[in-house]
Structures are given as structure tokens and as C-alpha cells.
Chains A and B, each alone.
Chain A
Amino acid sequence: MAETPVVELRGITKRFPGVVANDRVDFDVARGEVHALLGENGAGKSTLVNVLYGLYHPDEGEILLDGKPVRINSPHDAIERGIGMVHQHFMLVPVMTVAENVVLATEPTRGPFLDMREAEKRVREVARALDFRIDPHARVETISVGQQQRVEILKALYRRAEILILDEPTAVLTPQEADELFEIVRTLAREGHAVVFITHKLHEVLAIADRITVLRRGKKVDTVPREGATEEGLARMMVGRDVVLSVEKGPAQPGKALLQVENLVVRDERGLEAVGGVSFEVRAGEIVGIAGVDGNGQSELIDALTGLRRPESGRIVVAGKDVTRASPRSALDAGVGHIPEDRQRRGLVLDFTLAENIALHDYAKPPASRFGWLYPRRLVERAGGLLAEFDVRGGEAETLASSLSGGNQQKLVLAREISRDPRVLVAAQPTRGLDVGAIEFVHNRLVKERDEGRAILLVSFELDEILSLSDRILVLYEGAVVGEYAPDVSEQELGIAMTGGGREQAA
């Protein structure tokens, strides 16, 4: 980069109790450049941009804007200086229109009154400059997630952001939406904006970034240009060792059907039909992947299979036993294991110890308890072995689950579910939010369990994951299975089916 970087972070150190989140990190970005910040969860990416965005104050180091040292005291301060941030979780008011959201807190006024006409005009101008198709009058709750993200970007640009920070922007998008976002990011760079793109997905980095900075455990590993960078090389930098990116698995040897679902209808909280007459089966020794965009009936399907929600009609049979109207406990007893979508809200009692969490399904049975009398020491003993087997790090049997990292929490859930020797394992988003190393562990373990003869139903919004793990792929769209595919199907074809464009097709 020949020109002066518009932002330069020099030797940033930020400590939290017990951890150094950033350790003398240097980072810079120039106008017209997309600079990716790559690293595992907890590597310090977010801390670094929070320092830039004024949410944290660095313990050491300095921030230079256009070559001049500055002090950024708050996000407000950052916005004043032309730094905008699009958070992973959008900060929009759902009941307000696009234009109202964009101008929020900086509303144009005429006298004491809001000048909404002026606001809409200005929103349109900014949108036109970027070739955004968006209706300023639309209420935010009625537009798609991808469009909501654009509203966030518009909001930043409306406030004259020259430096745009995107925090894991593709986490919530479909592949098509992600492609459109990349297009937007390229346009922004062309227009002279500086873009900081945070991600832990390697292919995204190679698709969008001009330069790539890799962080590991709070330290900067290196900054490399995109030319010459490879997924393998970047993964090694992120994790600090060689990582097998593709899942190694032999061909499936399916046995008899362990999970049979017939004409299943499930309603959601509002009483609407979320799953509308779905039928499929999962056989012993195979992984069936359910692909689909979030909100197409996945959660309701999973809840019905695991006894957490009563189906309206249809049949669910697990290893020959009808569990259609089973309670969660009887579903568990029938041989269903469930790695839930949200491990913190559902999968774990964060204020329980690891040992107590491992006992969550069978605390009421010997040896954990007898006649209602609990044996805490036995819980601890049992946990000890499992923690070692599943490589749960960062805590002992008597540590609280809340003190584990996300990856280790997930390993804890995995340890509990697999140790119960389930016939059917329902894995919902099993690697969401995990870093490369933990993903590798979870994937390999799922394949191992498949080879042990379990029937595995994998529900994921990550196409990569579906494609690399599944032996068969079902696409769920608006509560119906709209197609079945072999794992060699192209990402495009799946993407189209996921958005309702698929023809009924058997691979």
C-alpha cells in the first residue's frame, strides 16, 4: 500500500481480568482497501475493532487516523471521526421504517419537527450511490435479513463513515445474500471507503479481501496479501498447526432405518404450520443433512423429534418405538440424542458445574442417584473421564460451565449426548460460532458416531457443513422437504432450492 493508511493501530494491548485479549497488535487499512481480520473465536478480533470503535480503551498502543494520533472515547466519537460499524446482531428498531432507522439519532429537522421527507430523500441518495435496491418506506421487520444488513450499512454511510467495520457479516446470510454483500463491499472499496472485514471463514477472506491479517490468541500472526494466500496456509496461521479442512470419511454403510418421520405437521408458537407434512427416514450409519435458510421449520422439526414440542399430526418412530407424543424424557429414553442449536440457552445450565451438566439427562437414574438421593461425587467421577475423552479444556468437573469457551461448551454437550449411546443423534447447528479447531473435532466425532452405527440428522445453515458431512441432503423450504440431493450437488443448486426455486427432484 503506497498511500498513507487512513487508520493505523500501533501496538494495541488490551487486558481483561485473566486474559490479554490483544497483545501489541498492529493493524492498518487504506482507502479503497478491504482488509480482512481473520482468527478463531477469542483470538481478539472483536476486541481490536472495539478499540477502534471506541468501546474499549487500549491499555497500551495508539490509534492514528490519517497519520495523526487520536483518542477515541466512545462509539459516538468514532462515528464523528468517520468510523462506522455493522454489528453481527443488528441494532435496528423493527417497527420503524428503513428511512427512520437510518436517520435515527441524527434526524433532519425543520424547526422543532422531524423532516421525514428530507430524511427519505437523503436515504435514497445514499442508496442510489451504492446501487442498493431498498424501499425507504418498508418497515424493517418486514424485510429480509440481507436487506436489514444493508440498512445497517446505509446507516453507517449516512453518518458519513469512511471506514466501515463489518463484524462477521455473512453469519446470518444465505449464500446468495453473501454474494450480494461481497458485491456491495467491492463497490464501497471502489468508492474509496476503507473496509475492515471480520470473519473466521477462510473462503470468504480469499473472495473479498485485499489484505489479510491473522490473529491468534490476541497476537498478530502476520499480514499477507490475498495473492498467494491459500485456505490451508491461513488455517495453519489461525490455529498454529496443520488443519484438515475437508472431512475425511469413508462411504456410508446404511443399515436399517432408526428414525422414521411420516407426514409430520408441527405448529409454531403462533399456531402457524411451521412443518407441513414432512416425511423422511434416517438409517443407522448415515448422516442426513437438512439444508435450509433459518426459519423454514428447522427448529420446530427438531423440537418435535426430541419431544420438546407436540406435533399436530404425523408419526415419529425411533428404533421401532413410536415417540410422536413422547415427553422429552421419553424421547431421550427411546434413544434420541440432541445437540441443540443454542448450547447456552438450551444445551447447558451455565451456572451448573460441568459434572452437573453432564448429568442433565440421567441425574435421576443410578448411579447418579438412588431413591431421589443424589451422589455429587459420582457425577464428578463420571465427568472426569468424559472431559478427557472429549478433550474439554479450560475447566475441571467442578468448574461452572459458563467459564468455558464456546468450543469447549460444545464439546461438553457432545460428550453428554454421545455418552448416553443414542440410536439417533439430532445435531442442530453443531459448529455454530466455533473456531476451526473445534469444528474439526465436532465433524470428525460426528463421522465417527455415524460409523459406529448411529443415525445422524444434521441440521445446519452452513452449506459447507451440510455438503462435507452429509450422505444425503434434504432441503427444507417453508416447512416442506423440497428436494433430496446427493452430497456432490453444487452449492448453487442447493442455494436455489433453499430459496424456493428448486424443482422437486431426486438425485
Chain B
Amino acid sequence: MAQRRSIATSTLTHWFSTRLGGIAIPVAATLLAFLIGGAIVAIDGTNPVTAYKAIFEGTGLNWFFPWVTGEVRADAARDLQQTLLIATPLMLTAIAVAFAFRCGLFNIGGQGQLWVGLVAAILVATHLEGIPRPLHILLALVASIVAGVIWGGIAGLLKASVGAHEVISTIMLNWIAIFGGKYLFELGGPLQGDQAFLPRSFEVFDSAKLWPIWGTIQALHSGLFIALFGLIVYHVLLNRTTLGYEVRAVGFNPEAAHYGGISVPRNYFLALGIAGGFAGLAGGVDVLGWRFDVDTSDFDADTVGFTGIAVALLGRNKAVGILLAGLLFGALQVGTSSRQLDPRLFDPALATDLATMIQALVIFFVGAELLIVYLWQAGRLVLPRRRAKSEAKP
């Protein structure tokens, strides 16, 4: 009987995750998060509609409205460039989370993998002067991928060989990457640049910079296409290759995979390695696209790798989902940044907090899917009873 009940539960859960959960839960979670964020803004004494309108205009998404013209449109274009610029690495770090997740692993190490990728790309991009631009870019990007693969692969190897939990090892590797990076570019550090009093790297050679595609000041760069291509690679790798088949089999049911002849440890290693490659690429694209150098303070401030976890969660580990969620989180970050937001409409300091809060709420509600399923089931159990009660009344 317990069996019968669990089957009923699993069909319900299944129904939710396919029918509703596919789109409805992320959308509902996002709406709910904005609603609660709005309520908090209202308590603070600002009209939430005004605040959200200001944030929306800060994202540059109003550029898509044909009636936006002239000066406003030019502003919108600049804002939209920034939104896409921020969304680019987010998508790549989200893939790093999603790919590992499909193998049943929780890769918290996107941030560290991004940093080693970024450092490797800087190394290549500040050397090899004079080689052709496409080759220089390619070499730098390959270096970032390799570094990320190694960083993720270490966690994978530990998992595969001695069963070290990937959450712990990737977190530790994050710290190693963060403090290792700070050491490299610190005053007197081995890779410090030419400005003696700045803990900063050399600027990358022009021949290693990604081509700008839209705008002039901090322009949107062609890394966006790399991220989009990464999404396609992710989808194809997972669904159209034997490697993806193995990864998914292990992720769903390691015991059945083992029984099927698939080496589970090998796939743990590969999945974390490949995931690391995507995150490393995010670092490479970022530094060749618009950062051009790195400062030790960046290692403290940047959270692209961690936000990638949220993007993957909201995007349900699907390529299209990651694209949309990456755009949403990128827009949220840009729309609330002090550079974009009109301080007369909504205090940017508050707005940044609001953005973080909304991100957290989105994740909370996506994670609470089981709670929603539970409530829905409870409703099914309770409702007929209520109906019966009202019928019982003469």
C-alpha cells in the first residue's frame, strides 16, 4: 500500500514537472518574487510601479519598443548592451552548473573555474604579441577552457577516486582560485602589471580582444555569440552524443547506469571537467570582451559564477531556459546598477539590494516546487472533504 501511495505521488510529481513545472513554476516563481519585492519597496515608501518602471528602463529592454526614439533610444541601446554583456558569462557559468547537475552533481565551483579560466586567458592574451588576431583570441579562449577543465576536473577526480563530495571540494577550489588570483596580481605579485602601485594585471593586447559588435563605450562584444554557441553545444552534447547519454543515465540513476555498463566514476570526472570548461570559458570571454585586465579587488567582488547557479536553477538546466534566465538576471543586475538607474526615481543603493532580494526569492520559489506539489496534493485531499461537508448540509 505504501507502494501504491508512492506511485500516486510520483505520478503527481511527474505531472507537475512535465506539464506545469516545465514553464509554469519558473514563471510563477519569478512573478511571485517580483510581487514580494514590490511589496517591500512599497513598505519602504516608494511606489513599486515607479520603481519597477525605472529598473525596466535601466535594463534597456525598452529599446525593443518601436515608439522609443531619439535620446531615450540611444540611452536604451547603451543599457541593453550592458544587459547582454552581463548575461553572456552568466549563461556560460549556468551551463557549468547545469551540465554537472545532469550527472547528479552540484557544481558550486563555477566561480573558481571562471577565475582560473580568466587568469589563463590573461596569460595568453598578454603574451604572444604580434600573432594574428583570430589565432590570438582562439589560443586565449582555449587556454581558459583548459584551465577550467583542470579546475573542475580536480573536483571530478577527487569524487571519482575517493568519493570526496563535490560540493565541498568545489567550494574549496573556489577559495584557492580566489586567493591564488589575488596573489598573482598583488603588488609585487608574479603577474602584476606595469602600474607599480596598482594590484592589477597588464592589459591584454588588442590582438586578443574580442570584436565589438554593438556600441562604442564598453561595447557589447562577440562573446555573446560564443555564449549562445555554448548553449547549443550544451544541448547537443547532452542529447545527441553517447557521452550525454551516459551523463544523463548516471545523473538519473547511477545504479542502473553501472548495471548498463557505464562507468559512473568516469562520468563524474568528465561531467565536472566539462562543466569547468564552460565556466573557464566564461572567464576568458569576459576578460577578452570588456574587462581587458583584472584587479585583485575583482576577486572579492565578482559573483558571476555563483549567480550562474541561480540561472541554471531557474532555467531548469535547459538550454532555452538558461538563455531566458540569463537575460533576466543580467537585466536585473544592470537595471538596478547605480550607473543606469535614475536616482530621482529610485535610490540605486536600495535597488541593488532589491535585485539581490528578487534573485534570492526566485531561487527560493523554484526550490519550493515540492512544497507547491505538496500543497496541491493536500488540496486534493481536503477539497472533496469540504465538498462533502457542504453537501451534508440540508
Which residues of A are at the interface with B, using a C-beta cutoff of 8 A? Answer: 16-18, 46-47, 49-50, 53, 55-57, 59, 73, 85, 87-89, 167, 198, 306, 308, 327-329, 332, 338, 340, 345-352, 356, 359-361, 363-364, 369, 372-374, 376, 400, 402-403
Contact = CB atoms under 8 A, between A and B. Distances in A.
B381 A57 contact: yes
A328 B259 contact: yes
A4 to B, nearest CB: 24
Contact of B248 (A56, A332, A352): A352
Given A57-B385, A361-B260, A87 B242 contact: no
B261 interface: yes
Given A360-B260, A364-B242, A89 B8 contact: no
B261 A47 contact: no
Given A89-B2, A328-B258, A16 B253 contact: no
B1 A349 contact: no
Contacts of A198: 1
A47 B8 CA distance: 10
Contact of A374 (B1, B8, B14, B240): B240
Closest 7 CB pairs of A and B: A329-B261, A360-B260, A46-B4, A46-B1, A351-B252, A328-B261, A349-B253
A376 B241 CA distance: 9
Contacts of B3: 46, 88-89
A16 B258 contact: no
19 contacts: A18-B11, A46-B4, A50-B1, A50-B4, A56-B381, A73-B385, A87-B1, A306-B259, A328-B258, A329-B261, A346-B255, A346-B256, A347-B256, A348-B256, A350-B252, A364-B242, A369-B245, A374-B242, A376-B239
B256 A360 contact: yes
Contact of B4 (A47, A327, A400, A403): A47
B245 A374 contact: yes
Interface residues on B, range: 35 or more
B384 A403 contact: no
A369 B242 contact: yes
Nearest to A14: B384
A308 B259 contact: yes
Given A17-B11, A361-B261, A374 B244 contact: yes
B384 A59 contact: yes
A345 B259 CA distance: 10
Contacts of A373: 240-242
Nearest to B249: A349
Contacts of A340: 259
B1 A345 contact: no
A342 to B, nearest CB: 8
Contacts of B256: 345-349, 360
B259 A338 contact: yes
Interface of B is mostly: helix
Nearest to B256: A349
Interface in B2-17: 2-5, 8, 10-12, 14-15
Contacts of B242: 363-364, 369, 372-374
A491 B80 CA distance: 79
Contact of A327 (B5, B261, B385): B261
Interface string B235-273: 000011111111011001101111111010000000000
A381 B255 CA distance: 26
A50 B5 contact: yes
Given A369-B242, A376-B240, A88 B252 contact: no
A352 B1 contact: no
Interface in B329-362: none
Contacts of A403: 11, 14
A141 to B, nearest CB: 20
Contacts of B248: 349, 352
Contacts of A374: 239-242, 244-245
B17 to A, nearest CB: 10
A167 B5 CA distance: 13
Contact of B2 (A17, A87, A359, A364): A87
Nearest to A167: B1
B253 A55 contact: no
A84 to B, nearest CB: 13
Contacts of B385: 57, 73
A57 B1 contact: no
Given A351-B252, A376-B240, A363 B245 contact: yes
A52 B243 CA distance: 49
B10 A402 contact: yes
B382 to A, nearest CB: 9
A91 to B, nearest CB: 8
A437 B8 CA distance: 22
B240 A402 contact: no
B253 A351 contact: yes
Contacts of A87: 1-2
Given A57-B384, A361-B260, A350 B253 contact: yes
A50 B4 CA distance: 9
Nearest to B387: A59
Given A55-B5, A89-B2, A376-B239, A17 B12 contact: yes
A356 B248 CA distance: 11
Nearest to B11: A17
Contacts of B12: 17
B56 to A, nearest CB: 38
Contact of A349 (B2, B244, B257): B257
Nearest to B14: A402
Interface string B212-250: 000000000000000000000000000111111110110
Contacts of A332: 261
Contacts of B243: 372
B252 A352 contact: yes
Contacts of B388: 57
Contacts of A17: 11-12, 15
A73 B384 CA distance: 12
A440 B104 CA distance: 38
B338 to A, nearest CB: 45
Nearest to B4: A46
A332 B10 CA distance: 32
Nearest to B382: A57
A349 B252 contact: yes
B11 A346 contact: no
A251 to B, nearest CB: 34
Contacts of A88: 1-3
Nearest to A53: B1
Nearest to A165: B1
A206 B255 CA distance: 40
A352 B244 CA distance: 12
A400 B258 CA distance: 20
Interface in B56-110: none
A400 B8 CA distance: 16
Nearest to B251: A351
